[in-house]
Structure 1
Amino acid sequence: MSETLSTILPLKRWQGEKAVYHLVAFTGAEAEAIAAHAMMHRLEFGRQRGFGSVKVIARIGATEWTTSVFPQRKQSEWVLLVSKKVMRAEGIAPGDSIPVSLTI
C-alpha cells in the first residue's frame, strides 16, 4: 500500500562538517504519516531501516527520484535531502518554497 503526501516546503541550506546539504523538513500531519509508516514497517519486519529511514519516491516539479527520508527530533520531523542536480533541473535555490510530493 502506498500513500502520497504533497505539500509546499522551504528549501533549507545546512552546513555540515564536510559539506553543504540542501533539504526540506516534513512536520505536522505529514511527519505523523511517515512515522506511522515507519512503525508499521518495524512491526511487520521486526526491525527498522538504517538510521530509522523510510524509503520514498520523491518528486519536485518534473523531477522524480527514489531516496529515503530521515527522522529528526524523535520522528516529529522528517528530512528529505535535495541534490544539486535536482535544484539545477528545477531552478530552485535555498529559501524558495517548493512543492514536494512523497510516495511512501
Structure 2
Amino acid sequence: MTSSYSFKAELWLYPGEAGWHFLTLPPDVADDVRAQNAGRSKAFGSVQVSAEIAGHTWQTSLFPDTKTGTYLLPVKKAIRAKARISEGDAVEVRLSVQGT
C-alpha cells in the first residue's frame, strides 16, 4: 500500500556551502507520514518517497526536522531546473510514500 499526499510549500535554501534546496512538509502531512511509518523509517529516520513537481517525478527520501517536528523534502537541481522553480517559490507537490 502506498500513501499519497498533495500540498503546497515554499522552496528554501539551506544555509551553507552545499546549496541544498528543501520543501517543508505541512504539519498534518508530516504527522500522517510519521504515523504510517512508525518503526519502518530508514537511516536517520528517513522515509523513502516518490515526489512530483510540475510533472517531473523523482525518487528521494524525507528527512525528519527535529527543530520543527516535521519532514524535509530535498529538491535536486535537475528537478528545480526542469520545473523552473527557485528559492522562495510556492510549489505544488505530489508525494507518494513507498512501502506503507
TM over 0.5: yes
Conserved 8 A contact 2:13-2:21: yes
- Stretches of 4+ moved more than 6 A in 1? none
Change beyond 3 A, Cα 1:6–1:23: same
Change beyond 3 A, Cα 1:6–1:73: same
Unaligned runs of 5+ in 2: none
* Count of residues paired in the alignment: 97
Report the alpha carbon displacement of residue 53 of structure 1 after superposing the two structures with TM.
0.4
Identify the residue that residue 53 of structure 2 maps to in structure 1.
60
Please tell me whether Structure 1 or Structure 2 has the larger radius of gyration of its CA atoms: 1
**Normalising by the residue count of structure 2, what TM-score does the alignment of the two structures yield?**
0.89
Identify the residue that residue 10 of structure 1 maps to in structure 2.
10
Instruction: Considering fraction of residues, name the structure with more helix.
Output: 1
**Normalising by the residue count of structure 1, what TM-score does the alignment of the two structures yield?**
0.86
Write the letter of the residue equivalent to 1:15. Answer: P
Report the alpha carbon displacement of residue 76 of structure 1 after superposing the two structures with TM.
2.2
Identity %: 30
Conserved 8 A contact 2:9-2:26: no
Render the CA deviation track for 1:17-58: whole Å, top value 9, x for unaligned: x4111000113210101111220xx1xx6xx41010000100
